[in-house]
A and B are shown apart, each in its own frame.
Chain A
């Protein structure tokens, strides 16, 4: 018998059977629906996380080391407290490091604080004001869109100039060029000499474009005299990152007079940690998601199996008739497998219908869109669940003795 005809016939039969028991089929799919919603949301979240992450770390090169008082990733509050008690990283230490670090191609000390920024009657709140040097450009991965960046002498000197992040520039200046105009930050006005290229956001929430870069000297003069600095270090040879890291550590220990045998009183962060954290978060989401999905699909699968046994029992006579006029085992098996798969696919579609609006909710935290890949995985999952849970009942139907089946009421 032609397989396609058989498939078509099986599909028609199962659709007829499902239509005859719409309510039952819909209720049966509940477990599948929950499973598909979870697997879809999980897939969407992980994909969104992945995208946000890739975008974020693309601004941080693999050749970067970040010296800081804090570790990027803290595992406990007590660990954090211990780091909190460390001495600050000072401007003098940063300068000493710059003199001694011959493994680095660029070193940029940065001080950061939130302030509001004004131009005429416009105002932008919570802007990150970064005090740094001309080296900020190569270490931050930013590039200049219009105008220019700080020159070395400006970075050293006291001239109040600033470079705007793209978001600040569009917020403050609507119809005029920012270049040459003076904006007010805190107690002081700064002349705009350049605007940075748009960089996007960190993990989808923290904008990298809502910032203003001013000379470090200006920063310490007007905002905070003894800031705790972060130092971004770009190494010359990324292949020698580990050696550079070790050298950096030794230099910092010397500069900060850490006694031999004592632990470091500073942290050296690098992208790897971020990657590691990301994998942990993604792994956790995937783990929880897979667990819920697996559980829901298992329960759903049992439900499908149960309803398929009922369906087979109800239609014993029909099975007998079909066998009497020439249906083979394979035909009957296929018929009920298709029915189980169709019910599960129905559940999958309902699940996708529920998950779709929910991805918009996720989109508030992560850049999330339901991708075709996720849809495909969801439908495939429900199909496989249907086939697996339908197999046992379908097998029982296929093996029925025609005489017994015909005698059934």
Chain B
């Protein structure tokens, strides 16, 4: 059974009298454990697709099943719960809370899921250790390097043991060496069985994934599986 099932998903934006079709009846299935790269020119609808997969946004039409449940009709609060339990986000701009230290940033999803403070702290520390930041837990984002910030973001995304890790251009704000490190981290996570979807512009980053979905003008232009490099 697919983890993600898009059935004729469309996302339209009304700009005055004009309608922008960011996604046009996209049908897509992603199974548990897959490592998918999403590519395409700027404005083609990659972020729109990611936001829909991540339940940050609701489709204008179509049906979205996540883990067998229809989430396209859910209300705000139900979606918040799904995001909290099923989805881990990594953004291009890190999106950490600037006034909170690394530990608190990573604890946040656990606070929202109602975990008790002791277990929460332990879980968050484990998650930070898993991305190699055990010695930086009390640093605030502005006291960390870009790569370290993105690691905190990955730790936060994974702390709730979500079904999917979504990353929209996670290396876009990093130099190529740090970007490579983050991608190595993703590969490791993939090997451990995480489902990962990455949006990227860079071919060599995409080639690390097992499957590349190319988007153009809100449509899927190609969907190819690569030889396993392992």
Contacts and interface: CB of A to CB of B under 8 A. Distances in A.
Contact of A406 (B56, B109, B117): B56
Nearest to B54: A324
Interface string A365-409: 000000000000000000000000000000000000111001000
A321 B95 contact: yes
A322 interface: yes
Contacts of A324: 54, 56, 83, 89, 95
A16 interface: yes
A318 to B, nearest CB: 6
B77 A325 contact: no
B228 to A, nearest CB: 32
Interface string A202-214: 0000000000000
A329 interface: yes
6 contacts: A20-B99, A325-B83, A326-B112, A326-B113, A328-B112, A403-B56
Given A326-B84, A328-B77, A403-B56, 14 more contacts: A5-B111, A322-B112, A324-B56, A324-B83, A324-B95, A325-B84, A325-B89, A325-B109, A326-B109, A326-B160, A327-B112, A328-B112, A330-B77, A406-B56
Contacts, number: 65
B97 A5 contact: no
Contacts of A2: 114
A201 to B, nearest CB: 58
B197 to A, nearest CB: 15
Contacts of A328: 76-77, 80-81, 112
A323 interface: yes
Interface string B92-135: 00011101000000001101111001000000000000000000
Contacts of B51: 403
Residues of B in contact with A, size category: 20 to 34
6 closest Cβ pairs, A-B complex: A326-B84, A326-B112, A1-B114, A2-B114, A328-B80, A325-B109
Contacts of A318: 97
Contacts of A330: 77
Interface of A: 1-2, 5-6, 9, 16, 20, 317-318, 320-331, 401-403, 406
A16 B99 CA distance: 8
Contact of A322 (B56, B76, B85, B108): B108
B156 A325 contact: yes
Interface of B: 51, 54, 56-57, 76-77, 80-81, 83-85, 89, 91, 95-97, 99, 108-109, 111-114, 117, 156, 160
Contacts of B112: 1, 322, 325-328, 331
Contacts of B54: 324
Contacts of A323: 56, 80, 83
A331 B83 CA distance: 15
Nearest to B86: A326
Contacts of B77: 328-330
Contacts of B95: 317, 320-321, 324, 406
B158 to A, nearest CB: 12
B114 A5 contact: yes
A326 B81 contact: yes
Contacts of B80: 323, 326-329
Among the interface residues B112, B113, B114, which one has the most CB atoms of the partner chain A within 10 A? B112
Nearest to B75: A329
A326 B56 contact: no
A402 B114 contact: no
A402 B95 CA distance: 13
